[in-house]
Amino acid sequence: MKEIAMKNILKNKWIGTAALVAALAWLATGCDTVNQLTELGTGIAVASGAINTNQAASINRTTQAVAKTFQDITPEQEYYIGRTVAATVLLGYKPQPAEDLNGYLNQVGQALAQFSARPETFGGYHFMVLDSDEINAFAAPGGLILATRGLLKCCKNEDELASVLAHEIGHVEKLHGLRAIRTGRLNSALTVLAVEAGKNLGGEQLAEVTKAFDESINDIATTLMNSGYSRKLEFEADAAAIAILKKAGYQPGALVAMLENMAKNWDSSRKDFAATHPAPADRIQELQKSGVASSVASAPARQQRFLAATKSL
């Protein structure tokens, strides 16, 4: 199918270089031998007179850049990406200077992580409280998890706190953060595509195309903090949280109870969890479909240490 499409493209000698670049990149991205296919295609294009050798070299460089966006990110790279994302979050939020509270958060979080499908990361899991009344949490790639003081105030017991942390661990487990980062890497590749194709554009046109792609790249960090994950990924993180809570001996229904607490503070105009998460009612409905009912129960010993650790809030 793609070979036929390539022949049809090459038959049209009036096709613009930018369109040819995009077409050949599309043809190549679905193939295991991306670079070989593109080089073959550009070779045919040069031979047919559709493009010259300089344009062929430009197309090949473009496809190499696009191919790199589909390479796996190593655990070490994920760690450093996560540190950068967390640092970006900390530009807008101050850490909560409460050693006991942060120690407790890490104690619960580390225990939960061991029951995740991904109990270890390159730099390990780390949990921190943010000094903010906003109701929000962020899971950076590699296991750096940040939760606001306002979110912890929504928790009535340790099981509900565990449900929040398990949800964020679910994002790390499912590599949701890396999916967003890869979008940025893809945009970076498309920038090369635009620049390479734009060599036949005028100066103003080239500047306009380059600016558009540059702005899309710069939006990535903001997207992570302001737009949040898709409904599908949030539901995936909730499902992962339920599995973790069950294995760790916490009440899975605590996640539903926590969402009920959050629903009381729901306001779609707010810039906290309302901007980065689906409505609590939608998440509750999705959980109820899988048979998870609300539960406010918590073991007395857990409740005692929860109250002791969170009294500073």
Kindly tell me if the per-residue pLDDT of 289 is higher than 70: yes
Quick one: tokens of 236?
A: 């995936």
Read off the pLDDT of residues 145-190 as tens digits, 9 standing for 90 and up.
999 999 999 999 999 999 999 999 999 999 887 776 555 555 554 5
Read off the pLDDT of residues 100-151 as tens digits, 9 standing for 90 and up.
999 999 999 999 999 999 999 999 999 999 999 988 888 888 999 999 999 9
Q: Tokens 């930018």 map to which residue?
A: 18
Residue type, 67: A
Structural domain boundaries in the chain: 1-68, 75-177+228-310
- Which one has a higher pLDDT value, 152 or 63? 152
What predicted TM-score, i.e. pTM, was given to this entire model? 0.68
What residues form DSSP beta bridges with 95? 130
